[in-house]
Amino acid sequence: MAAAKRPGGHGTLITVAPTGAEHTKADVPNLPVTLEELVAEAVACEAAGAAMIHVHIRGADTTPTLDPQRLKDTVAALREQTDLVVQLSTGGAVADPEEDRLRVLDAMPDSASCTMGTVNFGDDVFLNRWEFVVELHKRMRERRIVPEYEIFDIGQLASLARLLDQHGLPAGGHVHVDLVMGVPGGMPGDTETLAAALRAIPAGATFSATGVGRTSLPVMLASLSAGGHLRVGMEDTVSYARGERVRDNAQLVERAAQLASVAQRPPLSAAEVRTLIGVAQSN
């Protein structure tokens, strides 16, 4: 865990994942689900220190959708109103068909998630067949979309090594990994597991980490201590502290930015993150 040797070690990439596909608007009334709510949250999160946004969208009925036109409109609105690196989720919701997930790339985001294997996901299964992962990787390369490899369990890092070995580096030539920890069915969200995962991360790769639910803070502190970057947001946690619900996504970004600054690795700007992970600069 040689923090200083990892690219981007001088600053912290903070990604906000504001919505996700799991929480309902009925259960979490402050979850951003309309385009207006999403953009307002994105603007506030950028001001608080976020440089990238991991986006799941919702339909008019507030349930998750991968509607192509809505995705394009979302990318356009976020580009218009913010400088954030726009990352679309290709994970979607657990029941989304592979074809719909692949079609997400036609919205031409800066970045897209690419989960490196199948994992139990609470009572569901988040299915990511090998052939599907390879197809995502290939289509992202063709479109010059920079992947963020989502890792829910340590074995998926072996799959990432196999992918890079068999199919080459992604667009931008840099490998960035996001450890999603604490999902029931995936790897636990604790320091020991993060340290074990880092031993399997490709040389030269950057990584961020996010802890789901109550693992949010331990994972954030562990990642900072290991030279890693951070993802926070209501996709992953809707409680701010014991017995206290999250006010909004900016509240989570503010805390991440404060902790990153305490760690002497203050938030990176969106432009710095574009350079770090190999996304073309915006105009």
Rounded-to-integer distance, Cα 76 and Cα 150, Å: 24
* Cα separation, 215 vs 223, whole angstroms: 12
User: Is residue 240 involved in binding ligand KMH (CB under 6 A)?
Assistant: no
3-state secondary structure of 61: coil
Nearer to ligand KMH, 110 or 265 (CB): 110
User: Among residues 123 and 244, whose Cβ is nearest to ligand KMH?
Assistant: 123
128 sits near Zn ion (criterion: CB under 5 A):
no
Q: Is 113 in the site for ligand KMH (CB under 6 A)?
A: yes
Number of residues that bind ligand KMH (CB under 6 A): 12
Nearest-angstrom CA–CA distance, 42 and 83: 10
Residue 126 binding partner per list ligand KMH, Zn ion, none, with a CB distance cut-off of 5 to 8 Å that depends on partner kind? ligand KMH
Smallest separation (angstroms) from ligand KMH to the CB of 89: 3
Q: State how far the Cα of 193 lies from the Cα of 175, in Å rounded to an integer.
A: 20
Q: What backbone torsions phi and psi does residue 88 show, to the nearest 5 degrees?
A: -90, 145
Stretch that binds Zn ion, among 88-96, 116-124, 128-136, 138-146 (CB under 5 A): 88-96
How many CB atoms within 10 Å of residue 280?
Answer: 11
Q: Which of 28, 32, 36 is nearest to 16 (CA)?
A: 32
Binding flags for Zn ion, 240-269, as an x/- string (CB under 5 A): ------------------------------
Q: Looking at 51, 93, 133, 252, which residue binds ligand KMH (CB under 6 A)?
A: 93
Within 91-190, where are the H helices? 98-103, 130-143, 155-167
Kindly state whether residue 89 participates in binding Zn ion, applying the rule CB under 5 A: yes
Distance CA 15, CA 177 (A): 12
Binding pattern to Zn ion, positions 139-178, x when CB under 5 A? ----------------------------------------
Please count the other Cβ atoms lying within 10 Å of the Cβ belonging to residue 56: 23
Among 150, 153, 248, 254, which residue sits at the site for ligand KMH (rule: CB under 6 A)?
A: 150
Query: Which of 72, 70, 133, 125 lies closest to 94, judged by CA?
Result: 125
Neighbours of 38 (CB within 10 A): 24
Sole binder of ligand KMH in the list 13, 14, 21, 222 (CB under 6 A): 21
| Region of 34-42, 74-82, 87-95, 262-270 interacting with ligand KMH (CB under 6 A) | 87-95
Say if residues 90 and 105 touch (Cβ distance below 8 Å): yes
To ligand KMH, the closest distance from the beta carbon of 93 in angstroms equals 6
- The Cα 221–Cα 115 span in angstroms is 23
Tell me which of Zn ion, ligand KMH, none is bound by residue 236, counting a contact when its beta carbon lies within the kind-specific cut-off of 5 to 8 angstroms: none
Q: Is 111 in the site for ligand KMH (CB under 6 A)?
A: no
Residue with tokens 């399997």: 200
Nearest residue to ligand KMH, by Cβ distance, number only: 91
Binding site residues, ligand KMH, CB under 6 A:
20-21, 89-91, 93-94, 113, 115, 121, 126, 150
Binding site residues, Zn ion, CB under 5 A:
89
